[in-house]
Amino acid sequence: MAKTVPKMLAARRATPHGDATWLVVTVNATPDVVTADQRLSDAVADLGTAVETRLTPAPGGRGTEIAARVQRTGTAGAPSANDLRLVLRQVKSQIETGEVVRPDPPTTGRRTPGGALVRAATRRAGGEGRL
Amino acid sequence: MKAVCWQGVNKLSTETVPDPEIRNDQDVIVKVGLSTTCGSDLHLIGGYIPAMEAGDVLGHEFLGEVVEVGPGVGRHKVGDRVVVASFIGCGRCWYCENDLWSLCDNTNTNPGITSVAYGYEPGGIFGYSHAMGGFRGSHAEYIRVPFADYGAFPVPPEVDDHSALFVSDSVPTGWMGADLGGVRPGDVVAVWGCGAVGQMAARAAILLGAERVFSIDRIPERLAMTERHIGSEVIDYSSTDVGAELREHTGGRGPDVCIEAVGMEAHSAGPHHVYDQVKQQLRLQSDRPTAVREAIHACRKGGTVFVLGVFGGLVDKFPLGAVINKGLTVRGAQQHGQRYIPMLLDRIAGGEISTRHLVTHELSLDEGAKGYELFKHKEDGCVRAVFDPSRVAGDPRATGVGRSGTGYA
């Protein structure tokens, strides 16, 4: 069991070729619109040189698939998968809607054990999950 | 401003909280006129959806007046009377463009929570926990409405506030159940639940041409209200065998479309209710699917079951064998309100849909906890407790047009 779990987690992170996983979002815009949008190139540039991206037309006229991955895992300063997901989601929202919607601030500073768990979850939730 | 806040499992209070502010260019601020309790709030209050923080403002079904407009808003101006869809849709992702608004890609600010739970995240909703975006709710004097050009709709002058209020959620949710359930002229439809959503689903089925519509509940006032204002036939499940009754009324076939409008805290008369209750309390299942099971069993071969009630997680003893072997279509969704709201306002203006009777109790924000007690326990004939921020506790004005006998269609 101790050996199996790390293997399973590694398998989830790896592509069939052993590379770092591509994280992908589909943007509801044509590839030429996405390519021309400065917000994508700026966001990728901000992530550093270790990030590789590719654009593919989505099937059925569903827009453009933006894929990104960290080329050299372990590189100093390379973004985490959480960072990468967050940026991909934000770029998608900016291209589609012109903004990234913000949640409302908490109404109170009162701390409860349950609230601490929720806050811990929401701190990471923008970049967690499946892409 | 005042707001009704969740403070812990089964603990509510009315607090003074900071006023909302424009946080995105496409926001508006709405001064809340009316905001209603909803059965799905009870799941939050009871802790069945464990993503609430003390101080979170409840409420997602409301209308009001635009008092502030962000620089990116094009379709609204200060002073507009608007009803707002409870789910927030950006209007431009693939899901919104395909009229699947509650699945919006861009409005859930915490996608990591529900994408782990469900595989992919649904859109954001007002006042419905941090798992659904972390937006403040409408049981308050003011509320911020993101992407207002897509989610806020002008209310025609001939539709009063008490009627328009339910176009925010209950009416489109009910309509969606009948529409996406595929109700066609000549169908027989059964609807589980005579709350606001169930009543609206039954009315939608009638308007879409169903030949007979049966509404199922156990609360006498709700059954009477449904018969009177909706025009469907009613079945009291506490005094009869629902399956046998439906078979008798459908020539032995079963209903063509079964709509479940009950949700995760379903009640039933049988021993399986105790079983579900115990498992839910022990957290061995998160939801009680009693009405869904019954709908699946009652539905005719090859028919459709639409799950409108809100479910949050996992259920036990789901009759998958019946689904497969009877060739059923099972669908479900949170409401795609933006798809239907203008049409529904027109139908209310034209007298085809009546909603005012649902307002059985009107209260002030200070009476938030009392309103939910009345609503949860269905006390005093409560169908919907509605908060009016302009009221004060003990307001001598009428407390609920649905009880006063005025405003009936």
Residue B144 DSSP one-character state = E
- Within 8 A by CB and 6+ apart from B21, the residues are B29, B144
User: Residue A129 and residue B50: Cβ atoms within 8 Å?
Assistant: no
Q: What average pLDDT does this structure show over B167-191?
A: 98
What's the ipTM? 0.90
Q: Among A4-13, B271-280, B337-346, B387-396, name the most confident range.
A: B337-346
Three-class SS state of B27: coil
- Alpha-carbon distance B85 to B63, whole Å? 9
Name the residue among A99, A104, A115 with its Cβ closest to that of B26. A99
Indicate if the pLDDT at residue A3 is higher than 90.
Answer: no
- State both tokens at A112: 């409860």
Q: What average pLDDT does this structure show over B377-386?
A: 93
Indicate if the pLDDT at residue A119 is higher than 50.
Answer: yes
Per-residue confidence (pLDDT) for residue B395, from 0 to 100: 73
Specify the residue for token string 């790390």: A6
- Alpha-carbon distance B3 to A26, whole Å? 38
Q: Which of residues 81-100 of B touch A (CB under 8 A)?
A: 88, 90-94, 97
Q: Sort out which chain B residues have CB atoms less than 8 A from A107's CB and list them.
A: 3, 5, 15, 17-18, 55-57, 136
- Within 8 A by CB and 6+ apart from B90, the residues are A93, A96, A97, A101, B96, B104, B105, B106, B107, B147, B150
Half-sphere exposure of residue A125: CA atoms within 13 angstroms, side-chain side: 26
Per-residue confidence (pLDDT) for residue A17, from 0 to 100: 40
Report H helices in B56-119: 94-97, 111-118
- Alpha-carbon distance B5 to B387, whole Å? 13
Please give the backbone phi and psi of residue B42, each rounded to the nearest 5 degrees, phi first.
-65, -30
Q: Which of residues 45-64 of A touch B (CB under 8 A)?
A: 62-63
On whether the CB atoms of residues B54 and B18 are closer than 8 A, the answer is: no
CB pairs under 8 A, 24+ apart, for B239-245? B242/B216, B242/B294, B242/B298, B243/B294, B243/B297, B243/B298, B245/B214
Per-residue confidence (pLDDT) for residue B396, from 0 to 100: 66
Per-residue confidence (pLDDT) for residue A131, from 0 to 100: 76
- Alpha-carbon distance B202 to A10, whole Å? 51
Q: Sort out which chain B residues have CB atoms less than 8 A from A101's CB and list them.
A: 24, 88, 90, 106-107, 109, 124, 146-147
Q: Which of residues 45-74 of B touch A (CB under 8 A)?
A: 50-57, 72
Q: What average pLDDT does this structure show over B272-296?
A: 78
Per-residue confidence (pLDDT) for residue B290, from 0 to 100: 87
Three-class SS state of B196: helix
DSSP B253-304: S--SEEEE---TB---SSHHHHHHHHHHHTTS-S-B-HHHHHHHHHSPTT-E
- State both tokens at B17: 């909280």
Name the residue among A96, A99, A130 with its Cβ closest to that of B93. A96
Task: Describe the strand order of the beta sheet including B56-57 as a list of residue ranges.
Answer: B11-16, B2-8, B56-57
Q: Sort out which chain A residues have CB atoms less than 8 A from B137's CB and list them.
A: none
- Within 8 A by CB and 6+ apart from A7, the residues are none
User: Residue B106 and residue A127: Cβ atoms within 8 Å?
Assistant: no
Name the residue among A63, A92, A126 with its Cβ closest to that of B110. A126
Q: Does any CB of chain B come closer than 8 Å to the CB of residue A124?
A: yes
Residue B223 to residues B165, B212, B217, B353, Cα–Cα distance (Å): 22, 16, 7, 17
The H or E element spanning position B349 is helix B337-349
Per-residue confidence (pLDDT) for residue B408, from 0 to 100: 31
User: Residue B111 and residue A126: Cβ atoms within 8 Å?
Assistant: yes
> Which of B7, B25, B110 is the mutation pick for testing A, counting most A CBs within 10 A?
B110
- Within 8 A by CB and 6+ apart from B226, the residues are B194, B198, B199, B202, B215, B217, B232, B234
Q: Sort out which chain A residues have CB atoms less than 8 A from B119's CB and list them.
A: 130
Per-residue confidence (pLDDT) for residue A107, from 0 to 100: 87
Specify the residue for token string 């609503």: B375
User: Residue A104 and residue B26: Cβ atoms within 8 Å?
Assistant: no
Least Cα separation, residue B334 to chain A (angstroms): 20
Find, in chain B, the residue whose alpha carbon is nearest to that of A93: B106
- State both tokens at B153: 């709709």
On whether the CB atoms of residues B67 and B31 are closer than 8 A, the answer is: yes
On whether the CB atoms of residues B45 and B58 are closer than 8 A, the answer is: yes
Q: Sort out which chain A residues have CB atoms less than 8 A from B17's CB and list them.
A: 107-108
Indicate if the pLDDT at residue B397 is higher than 70.
Answer: no
Secondary structure percentages of chain A, helix, strand, coil, to 5: 45, 15, 40
Identify residue A6 by its one-letter amino acid code.
Answer: P
Identify residue A34 by its one-letter amino acid code.
Answer: V
Confidence bin at A11 (pLDDT 50/70/90): low
Q: What average pLDDT does this structure show over B190-213?
A: 97
Q: Sort out which chain B residues have CB atoms less than 8 A from A105's CB and list them.
A: 18
Taking Cα atoms as reference points, which of B303, B294, B339 lies closest to residue B181?
Answer: B303
Least Cα separation, residue B15 to chain A (angstroms): 9
The pTM (predicted TM-score) of the whole model is 0.91
What are A45-65's pLDDT values in tens digits? 888 888 899 999 999 999 999
Taking Cα atoms as reference points, which of B393, B340, B402, B349 lies closest to residue B370?
Answer: B393
Per-residue confidence (pLDDT) for residue B357, from 0 to 100: 95
- Torsion, Cα A70 A74 A79 A80, to 10 degrees, reads 90
Per-residue confidence (pLDDT) for residue B74, from 0 to 100: 97
Confidence bin at A75 (pLDDT 50/70/90): low
What are B8-65's pLDDT values in tens digits? 999 999 999 999 999 999 999 999 999 999 999 998 999 888 889 999 999 999 999 9
Q: Does any CB of chain B come closer than 8 Å to the CB of residue A101?
A: yes
Q: Does any CB of chain A come closer than 8 Å to the CB of residue B357?
A: no
- Alpha-carbon distance B265 to B39, whole Å? 9
Q: What average pLDDT does this structure show over A82-96?
A: 94
Find, in chain A, the residue whose alpha carbon is nearest to that of B8: A114
Q: What average pLDDT does this structure show over B172-201?
A: 98
Quote the Cα angle for B315-B317-B322, to 5°: 115
- Alpha-carbon distance B167 to B189, whole Å? 22
Specify the residue for token string 């595989």: B119
Q: Sort out which chain A residues have CB atoms less than 8 A from B15's CB and list them.
A: 107-108
Name the residue among A98, A103, A130 with its Cβ closest to that of B120. A130
